Chains A and B, each alone.
Chain A
């Protein structure tokens, strides 16, 4: 029987890793993710998880050691956040290009400067072009589930790409919630053992991996990564279905909430979706035709799902905890790209919100909603709206 326990998001991630039975874990401490490897090292120390735990000297080496381990043909796992993920940046491309299905848990945290340990999504958003699959969890249960699903998808032969699952710093990493721990037996059935067939380092079968690719070959290798990421769309949906059958929890690329007759749909990711749903309930009671949508899978970006969603509403309001300086929100850009060639499309609004752990309040959501309502009637005034900005201290 599955067991329910009250635990922090970080513990949920560690439990997911334990259930997935990686053979090698390499990790370096960083707030707010430190507890993930800490808890895993306890599992290893107690003999509850049979794995090699490498206590590396940096995140750069954490991911490099995972690359080495995965290249030698075993399931590898790590966890980090913010500066740590940024330090890994270079190697993230290599992991994807070498088609190594490493899985990583991220406690989504802001980037310096100024130094800030609290939540936003700038860390993972900044890695969107590395070839990693990206999941965003709304709560601790999702953090656990989406790490298991990440392994399933990453290791699928049609995909073979690394994957990261993000859950918001402190809001989830350090907050306790009831989490159902799936049965080991069912997880074993769901994931199976990782047995790479494509390429791994073994003296019995000498191969060279990662050779110099001249212009005559490089582009094709990159195209194969593109193709794998495209394949991931279907594989993720299959994994979601299988997960639901086995464990009873439903996941979707984009989860809609009260969107059917909505004029305005507010789109977000991660734990903000929880706040947003409550806000929608309140507005619905007031008779406002507003709905919400949560992007669970950010890479591959759910282009078709966003197109379907766009048909329902007059305004899509993107609420996001990240910014691409000189452009706007990254999710906004992705949503807009999805709709650019549609014949009829709604207004899309760009709201930057809750950076560096600033609480997203109902007042802020009201502000975004009223801007959306105004835009619906009178047109768009601004390219980017910064919500909850303390203008008095600027």
Chain B
């Protein structure tokens, strides 16, 4: 269908697609949506590095590629280092990196590849101040290897290595706050985003481009396969994660916190609304839900306080 130019102009997201049909993501994949938005934001003026993760498969096996931009597949723990090298090479060649017309070097890694095995390389990348963007697409477990817990897996979740049983419970640790570790590097720009709020995500991608230095976005990307959820609930789940304040949207820009909740005045919905749509939480007891609820509200309070004090 041909869309008239005047209509295109009124769209809240760029019309052009650079993440093509024929990719091999599962039905309802949040990460695939995320990639679509990132490629919409940066178009062909970006270079991607992707470690071993779902997106290795999603991008397509040789000789196919769903990417309209250059893409480099790398080892699991190396995203931060590889984007550092690419950025340095582009600068050495005299290319403009970041900024309005600059090339965006984008690392796109999952929660395991970021919060666990890739944490060291991420820290190095952030600390050295490279002009590049690191996006952690957070589906809260090692999905590509078959749903094993990562440090980003939440309390009470079933995964294949937190299966529950007579002696052992489900995941017993709360979700690691990777974004706080990132902010501890005092980089110019860090943000959380969600595939349920593409305009907010797009705005953050633009900011990440404009602000010099390293940027980091933690993108909440539901995985119906691993979360044992219906494939048509991806967006709803991502939205509920925000509305319950389980995954609040906020930005950290040059030392200042800003919360970007869609309905700032509303109190968070009960966490149960987010949990009940997912099979991975079905073994949680009432007490477990209370523990998780308490954690969510405590973290939410802490974030609000930060925004209040350092807003």
Contact = CB atoms under 8 A, between A and B. Distances in A.
Interface of A: 23-24, 26, 50-52, 54-58, 60-62, 64-74, 76, 90-91, 94, 201-203, 205-214, 217
Given A64-B75, A68-B83, A203-B47, A52 B70 contact: no
Contact of B59 (A90, A208, A213): A208
B92 interface: yes
A23 B93 contact: yes
B89 A211 contact: no
B86 A71 contact: yes
Nearest to A51: B92
Contacts of B128: 54-56
Given A23-B93, A61-B121, A208-B60, 18 more contacts: A52-B88, A52-B92, A60-B120, A62-B81, A64-B75, A64-B81, A64-B85, A64-B121, A68-B74, A68-B88, A76-B85, A202-B47, A203-B70, A206-B70, A209-B70, A211-B63, A211-B73, A212-B73
A71 to B, nearest CB: 5
Most-contacted residue by chain B among A57, A66, A205 (CB, 10 A): A57
Contacts, number: 164
A217 B62 CA distance: 8
Given A67-B85, A207-B70, A214 B93 contact: no
A236 to B, nearest CB: 27
Given A24-B88, A66-B85, A214 B74 contact: no
A54 B85 CA distance: 8
**9 closest residue pairs by CB, A with B:** A68-B85, A65-B85, A210-B73, A64-B81, A72-B89, A61-B81, A57-B124, A23-B92, A52-B88
Contacts of B64: 211
A68 B72 contact: yes
B163 to A, nearest CB: 29
5 contacts: A24-B85, A52-B89, A61-B124, A212-B56, A217-B62
Interface in B66-92: 67-75, 77-78, 80-92
Contacts of A201: 47, 70, 72, 86
Nearest to A61: B81
B85 A203 contact: no
A211 B45 contact: no
Contacts of B61: 211-214
Nearest to B78: A64
A210 B82 contact: no
B150 interface: no
A65 B59 CA distance: 22
Contact of A58 (B44, B49, B62, B120): B120
A61 B80 contact: yes
Interface centre among B60, B74, B80, B88 (most CB of A within 10 A): B88
Contacts of B62: 211-214, 217
Nearest to B130: A54
Contacts of B78: 60-61, 64, 67, 91
Contacts of B60: 208, 211-212
B57 interface: yes
Contact of A68 (B65, B84, B120): B84
Nearest to B87: A68
A24 B56 CA distance: 27
A62 B78 CA distance: 10
A61 B84 contact: yes
B70 to A, nearest CB: 4
A82 B52 CA distance: 26
A66 B88 CA distance: 10
Contacts of A65: 81-82, 84-85, 88
A70 B89 CA distance: 8
Contacts of A69: 85-86, 88-89, 92
A203 B92 contact: no
Nearest to B80: A61
B81 to A, nearest CB: 4
B84 A67 contact: no
A73 B89 contact: yes
Contacts of A208: 59-60, 65, 67, 70-73
A37 to B, nearest CB: 14
A205 B47 CA distance: 11
A209 B89 contact: no
Interface in B81-128: 81-93, 103, 120-121, 123-124, 127-128
A94 B47 contact: no
Contacts of A74: 89, 92-93
A237 B105 CA distance: 39
